[in-house]
Chains A and B, each alone.
Chain A
Amino acid sequence: MVVRGLTKSFGDKVAVAGISLDVPRGSFYGLVGPNGAGKSTTIKMCTALLRPDAGDVWIDGQNVWADTHEAKRRLGVLPDDLPLFERLTGDEFLTFLGMFRGLDPDVVASRTAELLDVLDLTEAARVLVADYSTGMRKKISLAAAVLHGPRVLFLDEPFESVDPVSARTIQDLLRTFCSGGGTVVLSSHVMDTVERLCDHVAIVSAGRVVVHGSVDDVRGGRRLEDVFIDAVGGVHLGAGSIGWLAQDR
């Protein structure tokens, strides 16, 4: 995936200020940054969910914004705020999405059963999505993102609200996906996860890429969290600041 000069403003606020990235095929690419850095906006523009003010995105040599229909065939996306079909059960949800993506019903049925099993949702397969917990919604959305076997998978905070056992399962699933030549781009606040999973990373701050490269190069022998805080600037509480919180009770 190649990103060049991606820019987006909302009124006076510049959310993404000319981001450029090169994501190698088969890589596990981490996009990290503080809240409001522009990670989610970047992912939405890369996946044809938000039209950029300027810039281009190519996936497999195909310009995403020149043919969004074709791009969406190649992509799998787990956005952070996508509304789901609340009145479908988990297996109905995956079945309908598979059919919308033009998969053969037999293929949809077998993949649905397998994904529900792997993601520990088999017991909830007949429960309406409206009744799913936040973690279960995340998992069913991930299943929907990989159901059609995309080439590039975009995941916005995939491990948020997911229990440790399921998180490990998801990590294994994503590694399997990458081993088959698939590319994963994930945004996260959890540096340990990014350090452990990703082979490449870009640190984004105020809509710009501050540092990028292979995880080992970016770390330079330090912890990724320390590099991250140095890159984006941390906030330190001054003496006496919110001192009332430290008072004896």
Chain B
Amino acid sequence: MAGAGPVSPTRVFVLLKARLVVNGVRRMTRSTWARVGFVFSLLFALVAAGVGVGIALGLRVYWDADAQHRNLVLLSAGIVFGWWFAPVLGGGVDETIDPARLSLLPLTRSQLRRGQIAAGFVGIAPVVMICWVIGLVVGSARTWASVPFVVVCGAVLLLAALVGSRALSTSLARLSRTRRGGDLAAVVAVLGGSAIFAGSQLLRFLTDEQLDAAARVLRWSPPGMAGEAFELAGRGSFVAAGWRIAVLAAVVVLAGWWWSRQLDRLLVEPAQTGRSALRNDGEALAIFGGWRRRLPRTAAGAAAARELVYLTRSPGRRSALLGGTLLGLVYVVIPVAWVGSPRTWLVLVAPVAMLLALQFASNQLGVDPAVFWIEVAAGPEPAARWVGRQLLGCIAVLFPVLLAATLLAVWTGGWIEFGVVVITMVPATLAMVGVGSLLSPMLVTPVPDSGNPFGGRQAMSGTGCSAVIVGLLYFVLVGVLIAPAEIALRWAWRSSSPLVAIAIGAGASAVNVGVWWWSTAAAVRQLPDRELEVLSLLDARLNT
């Protein structure tokens, strides 16, 4: 660059994004967990890229003409919708798209747009997506005449994915500047992301007829039309392919216009004004106000009240719980789809729904890291510090499980199994959060509480991946403890041995309550010795 004169803003954006990615990867060396997480993320990306290219290139080899057509539609729609929703669900990954960081620069609207689009193609996830689209292009081009059409279609598909993603992220960031808007943004992100996640997880359980039905719907969406355009161009129907590509291009233009409009407003509108957005009903705003007034006026009561206030007031907390619940339900649907018919015992798989909510139990100190500093400074009685966290863990774990159990019981009529789930899960949840309190200081991973789609700071650090690995290990441990109790209790109940059932239920409950009591006591004793270690692990700057 030296001596070459000013560099074009688009090139600077690309260089900036590349530098941010490289520096993000270099930081992996700071934490073992982040390193492990990064290696897993990279392996996942490599496998995803390979699978995508393999599927796309093998379109003609492995599937007949109808299946090729269907798969092209599904793949195209999956790429676009995945690119739109995955970043906002993941908490934002790209500092180059955060308008606040660029607001002081004298960049024109078109410079900003071109630069951000170009930067969007730099990074591990974009490279994976580009591999998929290249596979689609190569797999669809059957004649030399079709090559220009499929290449243009691939390019427009990538643009639709990226520009749509930018438009959505910017709109959500703008929405997040008000309290109600923040809630709406969180719901949109979680619902969109959950739908994509559910689709990817359930794909292998769907029959050809179900996949055909999905493709018949999606082919009328612009991304689905791109899939059809690939197929039609490959067959030589260039006019039919052309108008479909034109529709997708129109969507790109429309999304670009909307994105520009939102970006302009975002750059000159006030930042979040949460304080003024709160209703001024003093009683409800007081920490012991409203329905929290029955809590004891003690340090433990205050800790519990604080968590309950956050549960209703923090968009980040609410979206995390909503996301954990919806994504957890996806894991319940997998065995249900595998079995295919309403069997009463399926209600017993409801505890699987807690899988993604388990971070609230296994990583109690990582949720809302800032509060730990306040606790260390204020020094409340040691037991009180776990009350709020355990309460949050119980709510986060029990809610998706009971919701899943209710839905499954309604579907299968397995109300006895519903009772089994309730009787085993309530004390088991206590044991879970107790053991979680004991493990948290050793496995703490800071989880940022941000409603801003650009505000996530876990991206590229691998910490999100490491938190999931810990959560999975914890889930296996918990599953080993819960499943035998469930099976034994159901057997006793179904075998008309109520006394045996009561004995099993009481025994399991006693063991779980005992585990909770012992582990919480141990957690209370050990925390003071680990405070400084936890503080350094929670330091956001060290974990960025």
Which chain A residue lies CB-closest to B265? A51
Residues 1 to 34 of chain B near chain A (Cβ within 8 Å): 1-7, 9, 12, 15-16, 19-20, 23-24, 27
Q: Mark A105-128, 1 if CB is under 8 A from B, else 0.
A: 110010000000000000000001
Q: What is the CB-to-nearest-CB distance from B329 to chain A, in angstroms, rounded to a whole number? A: 35
- Taking CB atoms, residues of chain A closer than 8 Å to B102 are 100
Partner of A11, one of B3, B100, B267, B276: B276
Given contacts A10-B273, A99-B12, A87 and B20 within 8 Å (CB-CB) = yes
The answer to whether A219 has its CB under 8 Å from any CB of chain B is no
Contact B23 A89 (CB under 8 A): yes
Which chain B residue lies CB-closest to A78? B104
Contact A85 B101 (CB under 8 A): yes
The answer to whether A190 has its CB under 8 Å from any CB of chain B is no
Residues 23 to 58 of chain A near chain B (Cβ within 8 Å): 47-51
- Taking CB atoms, residues of chain B closer than 8 Å to A92 are 19, 23
- Taking CB atoms, residues of chain B closer than 8 Å to A72 are 104-106
Partner of A50, one of B5, B107, B270: B270
A79→B449 CA distance, assembly (Å): 24
Which chain A residue lies CB-closest to B101? A83
Q: What is the CB-to-nearest-CB distance from A157 to chain B, in angstroms, rounded to a whole number? A: 16
Contact B107 A100 (CB under 8 A): yes
Contact B2 A106 (CB under 8 A): yes
Partner of B27, one of A47, A83, A97, A128: A128
A12→B277 CA distance, assembly (Å): 11
A157→B24 CA distance, assembly (Å): 31
The answer to whether B98 has its CB under 8 Å from any CB of chain A is yes
Q: Mark A49-79, 1 if CB is under 8 A from B, else 0.
A: 1110000000000000000111011010101
Contact B104 A77 (CB under 8 A): yes
The answer to whether B209 has its CB under 8 Å from any CB of chain A is no
Given contacts A85-B95, A87-B24, A92-B19, A49 and B104 within 8 Å (CB-CB) = yes
- Taking CB atoms, residues of chain B closer than 8 Å to A86 are 95, 457, 544
- Taking CB atoms, residues of chain B closer than 8 Å to A12 are 276
A89→B19 CA distance, assembly (Å): 10
The answer to whether B541 has its CB under 8 Å from any CB of chain A is yes
Number of interface residues of A (CB under 8 A): 41
Residues 268 to 292 of chain B near chain A (Cβ within 8 Å): 268-271, 273, 276
A84→B9 CA distance, assembly (Å): 18
Contact B103 A49 (CB under 8 A): yes
| B15, B268, B460: most-surrounded residue (chain A CB, <10 A) | B268
A43→B6 CA distance, assembly (Å): 29
Given contacts A86-B544, A96-B16, A69 and B107 within 8 Å (CB-CB) = yes
The answer to whether A4 has its CB under 8 Å from any CB of chain B is no
The answer to whether B496 has its CB under 8 Å from any CB of chain A is no
The answer to whether A104 has its CB under 8 Å from any CB of chain B is yes
- Taking CB atoms, residues of chain B closer than 8 Å to A82 are 100-101, 103-104
A87→B104 CA distance, assembly (Å): 19
A83→B104 CA distance, assembly (Å): 11
Which chain B residue lies CB-closest to A12? B276
The answer to whether B298 has its CB under 8 Å from any CB of chain A is no
A12→B276 CA distance, assembly (Å): 9
Contact B7 A99 (CB under 8 A): yes
- Taking CB atoms, residues of chain A closer than 8 Å to B495 are none
Given contacts A50-B268, A72-B105, A100 and B276 within 8 Å (CB-CB) = no
The answer to whether B312 has its CB under 8 Å from any CB of chain A is no
- Taking CB atoms, residues of chain B closer than 8 Å to A87 are 19-20, 23-24, 27, 95, 460, 544
Which chain A residue lies CB-closest to B4? A105
- Taking CB atoms, residues of chain A closer than 8 Å to B16 are 85, 88, 96
The answer to whether A231 has its CB under 8 Å from any CB of chain B is no
- Taking CB atoms, residues of chain B closer than 8 Å to A50 are 268-270
A73→B6 CA distance, assembly (Å): 15
The answer to whether A210 has its CB under 8 Å from any CB of chain B is no
The answer to whether B108 has its CB under 8 Å from any CB of chain A is yes
- Taking CB atoms, residues of chain B closer than 8 Å to A11 are 273, 276
- Taking CB atoms, residues of chain A closer than 8 Å to B269 are 50-51
Which chain A residue lies CB-closest to B6? A102
- Taking CB atoms, residues of chain B closer than 8 Å to A88 are 16, 19-20, 23
Contact A104 B6 (CB under 8 A): yes
Contact A106 B20 (CB under 8 A): no
A113→B137 CA distance, assembly (Å): 47
- Taking CB atoms, residues of chain A closer than 8 Å to B15 are 96, 99
Number of interface residues of B (CB under 8 A): 39
Given contacts A85-B20, A89-B23, A100-B107, A130 and B270 within 8 Å (CB-CB) = no
Contact A48 B1 (CB under 8 A): no
A68→B102 CA distance, assembly (Å): 13
The answer to whether A13 has its CB under 8 Å from any CB of chain B is yes
Contact B106 A73 (CB under 8 A): yes
A38→B106 CA distance, assembly (Å): 25
A38→B487 CA distance, assembly (Å): 65
The answer to whether A131 has its CB under 8 Å from any CB of chain B is yes
Partner of A104, one of B5, B101, B103: B5
Given contacts A96-B12, A101-B106, A83 and B5 within 8 Å (CB-CB) = no
Contact A83 B100 (CB under 8 A): yes
Which chain A residue lies CB-closest to B455? A83
A69→B108 CA distance, assembly (Å): 6
A11→B335 CA distance, assembly (Å): 51
Given contacts A83-B100, A88-B19, A102-B6, A130 and B544 within 8 Å (CB-CB) = yes
Given contacts A50-B269, A83-B98, A99-B12, A10 and B2 within 8 Å (CB-CB) = no
A96→B276 CA distance, assembly (Å): 37
Contact A10 B106 (CB under 8 A): no
Which chain A residue lies CB-closest to B9? A100
Partner of B276, one of A13, A83, A84, A89: A13
- Taking CB atoms, residues of chain B closer than 8 Å to A81 are 271
| B4, B7, B267, B457: most-surrounded residue (chain A CB, <10 A) | B7
Contact B6 A103 (CB under 8 A): yes
A70→B106 CA distance, assembly (Å): 7
Given contacts A83-B101, A87-B23, A106 and B3 within 8 Å (CB-CB) = yes
- Taking CB atoms, residues of chain B closer than 8 Å to A48 are 268
Contact B2 A109 (CB under 8 A): yes
| B15, B19, B98, B269: most-surrounded residue (chain A CB, <10 A) | B19
A contact residues vs B (CB 8 Å cutoff): 10-13, 47-51, 68-70, 72-73, 75, 77, 79, 81-89, 92, 96-97, 99-106, 109, 128, 130-131
21 contacts between A and B (CB under 8 A): A11-B273, A13-B276, A49-B103, A49-B104, A50-B269, A72-B106, A82-B101, A82-B103, A82-B104, A85-B20, A85-B101, A86-B544, A87-B20, A87-B23, A88-B23, A96-B16, A96-B19, A99-B7, A99-B12, A101-B106, A104-B5
B contact residues vs A (CB 8 Å cutoff): 1-7, 9, 12, 15-16, 19-20, 23-24, 27, 95, 98, 100-108, 267-271, 273, 276, 457, 460, 541-542, 544
A75-B104, A88-B19, A96-B19 known; 4 other A-B pairs, CB under 8 Å?
Answer: A82-B103, A96-B12, A104-B5, A106-B3
User: Lowest 8 A-B CB distances belong to which pairs?
Assistant: A72-B106, A51-B268, A105-B1, A87-B23, A130-B544, A102-B6, A73-B106, A99-B12
